[in-house]
Amino acid sequence: VWQITDAIAAGDAAEALRQVDKLMSGGQRPIALLPQIAWSLRRLGMATAVVEHRERLGRRWQLEEALASAGVHRPSDAKRASSQLKALGRPRAKQLLPWLLDADLRLKGTHSADGRDRFMLEQLVIKLAKTAS
């Protein structure tokens, strides 16, 4: 799963999809994979929301503080998250939380059937990994 999130942050949709396929071929289901993928991406989305909120208030911010507020506490995790955020860019990072919520709701509703669930997860991965134009 770390390889998936790293590939997403780097904008490498092909690698992210290869890793998703590998896990699904091993028996993992999309409904089980999404929370694993979303766990680290949600923290990046929360850190972005903290930064955006502080900017709206006209307050200074430090990326390390924003990451800590989002639950990234270990220095090695903070370094990884910081590089992932920089690779994502702010426009994609701002969309993480809405995209993850939408995917979660779809997997539990309209896309819960076999085939549709995989399609939805792959579609999300592609959307998340799409590089900024």
Residues 103-132 have pLDDT tens digits of 999 999 988 888 899 999 999 999 988 864
Position 132 scores a pLDDT of 45
pLDDT of residue 88: 86
Residue 97 has pLDDT above 90, yes or no: yes
Place 10 in a pLDDT band, splitting at 50, 70 and 90.
confident
Average pLDDT over residues 13-35: 94
pTM of the complete model beyond 0.95: no
Alpha carbons 109 and 104: distance in angstroms, whole number: 9
Q: How far apart are the first and last CA of the chain?
A: 26
In the predicted model, what is the mean pLDDT of the chain? 90
- 9 vs 15 pLDDT, higher one: 15
Quick one: pLDDT at residue 133? 38
CA distance 104 to 50: 22
Distance CA 76, CA 32 (A): 26
Are 69 and 46 contacting, i.e. CB atoms less than 8 angstroms apart? yes
Query: Tokens for 117?
Result: 């669930």
Cα distances from 129 to residues 2, 74, 93, in angstroms, run 14, 25, 11
Confidence of residue 21 (pLDDT cuts 50, 70, 90): very high
